[in-house]
Every structure is written in C-alpha cells, then in structure tokens.
Structure 1
Amino acid sequence: MTTVPKPTMRRDLERIEEVNAGTRTPVVFVHGLWMLAGSWEPWARYFEEHGYAPLSLSWPDDPESVAEAHEHPDAFAGKAVGPVADHLESLIDRIDRKPVVVGHSFGGLLTQILAGRGLAAASVAIDPAPFRGVLPLPLSALRGSRPVLGNPANRRRAVALTFDEFRYAFANAVDEDEARTLYERHAVAASGIPLFQAASANVNPRTEVRADTRNPDRGPLLIVSGEKDHLVTWSMAHAAYRKQLRNPGVTEIVEMPGRGHALVIDSGWREVADTALRFVRRFA
C-alpha cells in the first residue's frame, strides 16, 4: 500500500525537486516550537533575492497554515526531537547539493543536530534551544517554559501560549501592538515533548537532545543570540558556542543588541537575516 504524503510533505518534496533542477546553493530554514514553516517567508524571499535557493521545511504533519493549526491544535502533539531531526534529515538527503541550514529556537537546536550529522555546508543557529552539555538554566528561561513544564501531563499534549505568555517568551523586546500582531500572525500550538526533553537532557545519557560537536564534517557554524531573549539567554547561547568550539571548523557567535526571541519574525528581522547572510556568503 502506497503512503500518500501529507500536504506539507508534498510541498516540501515539490520544492526540493525545483531546487534540484537549478544550480543555486540551497538554504534550508527550520522553524521551532509555536511557529510554522511559513514564518520564514520573508527570509526565503530575501535569500532568493541574494542568489540562494530557499527551502522552508516543515516538521512532520505540520498544518499548512496558522488558521488550520488553530482548528486542529492536537496535530502538534507527540512530536519529539529525534523523529523530527530524522524527518528533516530524510528531506535534506533528497537535495542534490549540501545545503546551508538556518534554524531558530528548537529549529536552532535541530540545525546543530543536522550539522553534527554532516548534512550542512554551513549553518546558523538563532537563539537555539539547549542540547546535552549546555548547563545554564536561567530563571527567565524557566518562566518562559512554565506554560509547558508546569504540568507533567503536557509532555504528550500540544500546548498553546496565551498572549501574555507569548509576550514574555517571544515578544518582550517589541511594543505591545507589534507583539499582538506577531501573536495573531504566527503563534500556534506546540508539542510539549521537546521542552521536557531539553529540560532533562543533562540527566538522561540516552537523550535525543544531543549534537555531535566534534564531527569534522559539521561545517562552519554561527550562533546568534538576542540580547533580551528570555527563553534562550546569552549564557545559554554562549555555553552552546563553547561546546561547539571543540569542532575543528569555524565556530562564531554574535549577540544582537536589544532583541528578544521573536527576532526572526519581528520588524527587525532583516538585521538578523543580514547577519546570517554575511556569514553564509563566506562559506557557501
């Protein structure tokens, strides 16, 4: 019996075929929790304008739109880090040329996992969720994660953020009007499992939340940190950077002044995209 791909999977496969038919360097964008692949649309246009072939890949069975996600929030439940990483790897394996990989939040964690598997020509991890070995856990990160971690039953659930929770975790560095716009335009429910996995990674030797920081095929890596990020603070991003320095490849970190966790979708996204593009151009 033939398995029929879900709509987002079909879209991703069709886009990969288009990229393979051309000669431009592919750039894979990976979203994190509470977002969809469509959140990368301005970035995709921007990188295409600068000569790259963008692919905004979805997590398994993602809804096609924010409206659909609001109608079917349980579609996000049960998605763990390992299977999502394997799903993205299976898609990247279909690309004829090794891509650049750019990810945000848990997408930044997935970016480092994929790079550690030798799948990236270069990678940019923006406000990346922590992997095993990243020890800092500031109070702001705990508060920002409390809507999920505060109830153990959320491990198998899909959890949506209220506006106030989104404002604290994502949109603390923009004014309230912009925060509401971002919430209405982008925020969807998210799987609870990844947050529990990240929270327990340092006490679980078999965790899926690990990145191979020593693989010489990892490629150049840039970590981007938002100065005012509540969910992934500078201390967390810098701890990941210190771990990644084990790699023989280029490893760099930059802090974006005055920026929060919504830095890839708020009105200042182009400044972050410029930073990523400058790094990518050096190596891809």
Structure 2
Amino acid sequence: MPPLFFIHGYWSTPATFARLKTRFAALGYEVHAPALPYHERDPSLAPAPEIGTLTVEDYARFLVAEIEKLAVAPVIIGHSMGGMLAQIVAARVPHAGLVLLSTAATAATQVPSVATIRTMGGVMTRWGWWRSPTQISPEAAMWGIYNNVPDAIARAEYAAHVWDSGRVLAEMTLPSVSTTGATKVDYRRLDRPALVIVGTEDRITVPGISRATARKLAGTVDYHEIPGSGHWLFWGSIETLVGDYIADWLGQSPAHIPAQAGIHESPSPA
C-alpha cells in the first residue's frame, strides 16, 4: 500500500487530519502530515514576522523535500490550500495518486465568487495584508469556512487557527503577482488516479473550483459533491463519509487503476 501524505490548509495545522490519520493507520497505511513552516506556533502567540512573506514556492519546496524522504511514492491528500499545494507538488515528484478535498484553485482553475469575496474581504482590505501575517475574523470564518458545522465544533476549530502568509494568499488570489509562477501547474504530469471531493455549500473554495480541477487532471478522476456540506469536512457524519470515499477509492488500489483520462461522477447521499 502506498503511504498517505496529508497537506493541511491555510490557517490550519496537521490536526485537521487527526481522525483520518488514525483511521487509515489502523488499516495499515503509513501516514504523514507535516506542518508547513511556522504552522506549529502556538496560536495564542503573536505571529512570527517571517511568515508574512513566505511564498507558495516556499511551501512547495518544503513539501517536496518531505516527500523525497519517503521510500515509496505516496498518495498525496490535500485540503483547501493543501489541495492546491498537492497539485503543485505532484507535478514535481512521483506519486501514486491525488485526493483533493475542498481544493483551492491553481492559476488555471480560478472561479470568481461573491461568497469567496465576502469571506475574505475583511482580510484583504487591510493595508499591507499581502506582506503581513494574516488571520480571519471569527464572524467571517463562521460564515465562509464553518457554515453548516455545529457551533461548538466550529468555535473550537477557529480557536486552533494559526497565522498564515499574506504573500501566499496574494499569490493564490492573484497568480500574476507570483515571481516564481508557483501556482501554475503542468496538468499533463498529473496523470495518476485522483479523487476530488467538495461540499455543495462551500463558500470559500466554491464547487466550481473542484469541477474545473477535475476537468484539468490527466488521469482517471472520481468526483463527489456532498450535498449541504460547506468547506469544513472534518466533523461528524461528513468526515465519516469523506473517509469512506477515500477508503473505497484506495481499495481500488490506485497503483493499478489505468491512468486513462475520464471523470467518474458518483451521486452523494443526501
């Protein structure tokens, strides 16, 4: 079985995947979930000044170095920004497959959205945000990230938010500002099997991004939209369903799935 390599999202930590890691480790998978640079810092502390100017390329190089330590090509699993990074990294390293959960957009899969603007507006209207550590307000997070999540769970998740890079956010939102072009992906290199999952009510990385991504990937794609789910997939029955989708997909043995192009859409239970 290939190892599973998890990549967390913006303002997040590897704790995002705690229960999924436990589930798949119990099935015999080797699991890895590194923290991106400065993402292990106590969220109650002031942000490290250095984080504000880290770039997408900095994150990508860190992840490539981590994957190169593995003896076997992994399945790369990313949530939100981690989904974008998973695509960037997979174009640079051998991999057995991709799992993209509520993926953020690459340069090729941008989808304008009023909901995204409403969620991120408070962050991106502060002068100098593009070169500073960023954080989202609780009100914006509850509306755009944790919509349809029980309040107690959403509040606990928000309390665990860490600071993140304004430069990375600028490069994700406006790919043309990147001096490295890191958010540009050669999709011809993403020819391994992939699983793409998104909630129909995702307000920050809207479903159109996942649909565009599924069309870009060069290998076989299993695609699922979860009715009524927002961006945050890691709670209760939603997380169980996501884990079931991943387990079922892995059970097909990604290393042996023919890498022909095509999207297999499966209806999600209501």
Greater CA deviation, 105-114 or 269-278? 269-278
Contact 2:7 2:33 in 1 (8 A): yes
Indicate the residue corresponding to 2:171 in structure 1.
197
Displacement after TM superposition at 1:266 (Å)? 5.9
Indicate the residue corresponding to 2:231 in structure 1.
261
Unaligned runs of 5+ in 2: 256-270
Indicate the residue corresponding to 1:103 in structure 2.
78
Unaligned runs of 5+ in 1: 1-23
Decide which of 232, 250, 256 is 1:280's aligned counterpart. 250
Displacement after TM superposition at 1:206 (Å)? 5.4
Contact 2:38 2:48 in 1 (8 A): no
Displacement after TM superposition at 1:202 (Å)? 5.9
- CA RMSD in angstroms, aligned pairs only: 2.1
CA distance in 1 between counterparts of 2:184 and 2:18 reads 28
SS in 2 for 1:69: coil
SS in 2 for 1:171: coil
Indicate the residue corresponding to 2:189 in structure 1.
215
Query: What is the letter of the counterpart of residue 198 of structure 1?
Result: M
Displacement after TM superposition at 1:214 (Å)? 0.5
Contact 2:133 2:165 in 1 (8 A): yes
Flag the 1:138–1:253 CA change in 2: closer, same or farther, 3 A: same
1:116-171 deviations in Å (ceiling 9; x for gaps): 22432111011111011213211001112223322351112111222112101211
CA distance in 2 between counterparts of 1:77 and 1:187 reads 15
Indicate the residue corresponding to 2:109 in structure 1.
134
SS in 2 for 1:82: helix
Instruction: Confirm or deny that 1:241 pairs with 2:214.
Output: yes
Contact 2:39 2:164 in 1 (8 A): no
Map 1:99-178 onto structure 2 (within 5 A).
99-178=74-153
Greater CA deviation, 145-154 or 118-127? 145-154
Query: What is the letter of the counterpart of residue 229 of structure 1?
Result: D
SS in 1 for 2:107: coil
CA distance in 2 between counterparts of 1:113 and 1:281 reads 25
Displacement after TM superposition at 1:107 (Å)? 0.2
Indicate the residue corresponding to 1:227 in structure 2.
200
Instruction: Confirm or deny that 1:79 pairs with 2:49.
Output: no
Flag the 1:130–1:254 CA change in 2: closer, same or farther, 3 A: same
CA distance in 2 between counterparts of 1:267 and 1:254 reads 15
CA distance in 1 between counterparts of 2:213 and 2:176 reads 13
Task: Give the structure-1-normalised TM-score.
Answer: 0.82
CA distance in 2 between counterparts of 1:270 and 1:78 reads 36
Contact 2:7 2:83 in 1 (8 A): yes
Indicate the residue corresponding to 1:44 in structure 2.
21
CA distance in 2 between counterparts of 1:79 and 1:205 reads 12
Q: Which runs of 4+ in 1 moved over 4 A?
A: 202-206
Contact 1:39 1:265 in 2 (8 A): no
CA distance in 2 between counterparts of 1:172 and 1:165 reads 10
Decide which of 29, 33, 49 is 1:56's aligned counterpart. 33
CA distance in 2 between counterparts of 1:107 and 1:261 reads 13
Greater CA deviation, 91-100 or 197-206? 197-206
Query: What is the letter of the counterpart of residue 247 of structure 2?
Result: L
CA distance in 1 between counterparts of 2:250 and 2:77 reads 10
SS in 2 for 1:166: helix
Indicate the residue corresponding to 2:263 in structure 1.
none
Indicate the residue corresponding to 1:13 in structure 2.
none
Query: What is the letter of the counterpart of residue 52 of structure 1?
Result: Y
Task: Give the structure-2-normalised TM-score.
Answer: 0.86
